Structure 1
């Protein structure tokens, strides 16, 4: 199987009607000796692919083959890899749907494999960790996440579990088991049980800047990856005031990995059924990576991976054409060094009575656009026009910075006539009348960063055309717009 250099890794090319199992899901990132090894679910087995920069990926390889329909790992599923005392341990989930309701058997159980080289893995057939019904329910029991806890000075395993006698679809909880050798585990406690979600999937826990963070995913309303923060591992775990997500409603099952300097959040971006804009989002898709940052208030934000940004080094032409509103382009010569000078571009648009926009150039695939957007007080919305085509705006996508509502929204030309699909949106605290905006397009994917807030989504029916800037009921300035290719 061939790897890819298209930023958003997946082992299969998208095609209409992609079935469950053909897509990349539940990525389990592991860092070792200068490389990131992304273990992931694929064809009901566990595979791995390696990268050093989240730009270039090698060929994927089979790690754990699933078993027969009569074995516990009929579907080999999510877990984590940990190194200790010369051995790599892979704790993973064994799914066997045929066991549901069968006395003495379990639909989900935690299994283990071991390796000395991260290539060849041996299943530990003597290890079997079924639901611990002393403390928890007997069905949801999966996604073991193992890490060293410096506060407890023990190895910890987070487990997706449910309260033993909890309310229906509100009994999801985070179970913790501890060990001194990564082999034998004993119950510690339930560290988070908010009585809100049916499950907390694909957990992660880590320290950053003196605080603890707990991440988990939930599918009860939409695909979503959330987080909580605490001063101590035992809690109490608090929900951030404004925003407890990292990306939009298609970013799922994200877990973190660190090289000791930076920490990255690695999840997957869902694909729509039949690869249509009106299809429902289904399980699995493309790898999606953000760098995590800690804000001054200790909440978490994200930004583009620096190696991804550097991979776009080809300067593409900016060509301004105003369509609606009044637009003015100013170029001033800026001295950057004794040897180098450059023109600083400033595009200003006024559209006081409604929508106005100007094009800036042609989007290639893949392509990166970046600029600083500024606006005058009272302006209702500014943003980017994306994949624009047609003399009368027949096709387009639109990144909206809704200034009054303090949020960003991704809108589409074909969201009309009773289309009930949800809006892709994220809350943002706009400050000082400006925001740094980056847009990365690759195939069907559009990934946006507005300051330290991300929104990644897809459009299938509009994948080429113009990039532009717009204003609604006010004035926008586009400072130093840059269009970059690879």
Structure 2
């Protein structure tokens, strides 16, 4: 199966009624000799697909077949790949729901497979690492993540675990085991146990500069990937003041991978049940990749992968038309010599005003700088806009007084109780760089170094534009690009 080649990888097209397990989930990225190998869960087995740029993907291949209902890996699940001394080690989770509550058996255990070429894998039938009940609870025991720890000068394995006698649904913790040979492991300590979440799934730990970062995912509220930072691997692990997430509420199980120069965050974007805007978000979806950025204050942001941006080479014509408010287009000849494109300015002091910029293709990329005057309440983009009276639309809102970005939709009416996709942003200097990537049902937005990725099933393509509410916006150097 070829899978999807439109930026956001998935092994097959999504369709209404798609069963759990038939989607791409819990991606385990690994870099080797110029290529990124994305191991992922699919059909209760572990598969892999390769890419060199996060734009084009090869054919998927089976890595680990799941076992029988009587075997520990009835479902082969999340783990990590590590290379040492000529051998690739794949530590993964063996799920067997039928073992729950059975004396002497375990619902979850850490298992191991080995390879010499990343293609052919052999399960190590002699390796079995069940929950370590000396220190932890006996149920949640999964997602082993192995890495070299330069501070400890030993190999480390992070494990999703629970406190042995913790509070119900607040006992999630990060267990650490260490090794000198990537084969034999001993308990080190619990490095993070905030008594907040039921579990911390799909851990990762890495250094950027002089800081350590710990990432994990949690499903108790939304699908969410969070992070903490510390000066030492041993902690204390601090929560960022404003924002401890990398993307919206559908970006899950993200782990990092580096080529030695840049570090990328690879997770999956959930789909909605039956591919409907009013369906609940379910497990699994499309691969979603960001480049990690360390800010001056040591917090983390993200930006678009540069190879993804460069893959959009064909310039689409701008077709500007003002619908509400007063709009003025400054041509290149009227502007300064160092400006290579137009500037569209709109004024709508008594409410909402918008202008179209052109027609979307699938996929396409839009980029511009949005600038606003003091006192303006909101500016942003209209996406998938259609109808003589703007009957259908999606809207990226930069809510300036609230210091956040929001993705809103035309069909959120009549007391719709589904949550709004939003992210906190620190707007500075009265402007923001905005990028919008549209591919199928997916809309991915970057506002400076903050991302918000979400979906819309009911409307696709049509017009895009810019808007302002109770104020003035300028759209500077707009570019609409296709592949």
State the TM bucket, normalised to the shorter chain.
over 0.9
In the alignment, the residues of structure 2 paired with residue 282 and residue 262 of structure 1 have an alpha-carbon distance, to the nearest angstrom, of 31
- TM-superposition CA deviations, 1:250-302 (whole Å, max 9, x none): 00000000000000000000000000000000000000000000000000000
* Secondary structure, counterpart of 2:169 in structure 1: coil
- TM-superposition CA deviations, 1:336-359 (whole Å, max 9, x none): 99xxx9852000000000000000
Q: Which residue of 1 aligns with 2:304?
A: 304
The 10-residue stretch of structure 1 (151-160 or 12-21) with the greater mean CA deviation from structure 2: 12-21
1:422 pairs, out of 414, 419, 423, with 419
- TM-superposition CA deviations, 1:108-162 (whole Å, max 9, x none): 0000000000000000000000000000000000000000000000000000000
2:430 pairs, out of 430, 433, 440, with 433
Cα displacement (A) at 1:331? 1.0
1:462 pairs, out of 453, 459, 466, with 459
In the alignment, the residues of structure 2 paired with residue 343 and residue 27 of structure 1 have an alpha-carbon distance, to the nearest angstrom, of 40
- Listed as ranges, the gaps of 5+ residues in structure 2 are none
Cα displacement (A) at 1:319? 1.1
- Listed as ranges, the gaps of 5+ residues in structure 1 are none
In the alignment, the residues of structure 2 paired with residue 342 and residue 93 of structure 1 have an alpha-carbon distance, to the nearest angstrom, of 54
2:349 pairs, out of 349, 352, 356, with 352
Q: Which residue of 2 aligns with 1:269?
A: 269
**Pair 1:317-2:314 in alignment:** no
Report the aligned-residue RMSD: 1.2
In the alignment, the residues of structure 2 paired with residue 171 and residue 232 of structure 1 have an alpha-carbon distance, to the nearest angstrom, of 23
Q: Which residue of 1 aligns with 2:294?
A: 294
Structure 2 counterparts to residues 202-351 of structure 1, below 5 A: 202-333=202-333, 343-351=340-348
- TM-superposition CA deviations, 1:6-56 (whole Å, max 9, x none): 000000101111111110000000000000000000000000000000000
Calculate the TM-score normalised by the size of structure 1: 0.98
CA contact (8 A) 1:325 1:355 kept: yes
Cα displacement (A) at 1:242? 0.2
Count of matched residue positions in the alignment of Structure 1 and Structure 2: 483
1:451 pairs, out of 423, 432, 448, with 448
In the alignment, the residues of structure 1 paired with residue 207 and residue 477 of structure 2 have an alpha-carbon distance, to the nearest angstrom, of 37
The 10-residue stretch of structure 1 (328-337 or 43-52) with the greater mean CA deviation from structure 2: 328-337
* Secondary structure, counterpart of 1:308 in structure 2: helix
CA contact (8 A) 1:368 1:484 kept: yes
In the alignment, the residues of structure 2 paired with residue 390 and residue 3 of structure 1 have an alpha-carbon distance, to the nearest angstrom, of 33
* Secondary structure, counterpart of 2:194 in structure 1: coil
Cα displacement (A) at 1:334? 9.5
Q: Which residue of 2 aligns with 1:377?
A: 374
1:408 pairs, out of 405, 410, 419, with 405
In the alignment, the residues of structure 2 paired with residue 344 and residue 484 of structure 1 have an alpha-carbon distance, to the nearest angstrom, of 14
The 10-residue stretch of structure 1 (63-72 or 10-19) with the greater mean CA deviation from structure 2: 10-19
Cα displacement (A) at 1:207? 0.2
* Secondary structure, counterpart of 2:308 in structure 1: helix
Q: Which residue of 1 aligns with 2:168?
A: 168
CA contact (8 A) 1:334 1:343 kept: no
Calculate the TM-score normalised by the size of structure 2: 0.99
CA contact (8 A) 1:213 1:228 kept: yes
CA contact (8 A) 2:4 2:13 kept: no
In the alignment, the residues of structure 2 paired with residue 369 and residue 287 of structure 1 have an alpha-carbon distance, to the nearest angstrom, of 21
CA contact (8 A) 2:76 2:95 kept: yes
Q: Which residue of 2 aligns with 1:391?
A: 388
Residues 334/142 of structure 1: CA separation in 2 closer, same or farther (3 Å cut): farther
Q: Which residue of 2 aligns with 1:69?
A: 69
In the alignment, the residues of structure 2 paired with residue 47 and residue 361 of structure 1 have an alpha-carbon distance, to the nearest angstrom, of 40
In the alignment, the residues of structure 1 paired with residue 247 and residue 76 of structure 2 have an alpha-carbon distance, to the nearest angstrom, of 27
Residues 335/405 of structure 1: CA separation in 2 closer, same or farther (3 Å cut): closer
In the alignment, the residues of structure 2 paired with residue 59 and residue 342 of structure 1 have an alpha-carbon distance, to the nearest angstrom, of 43
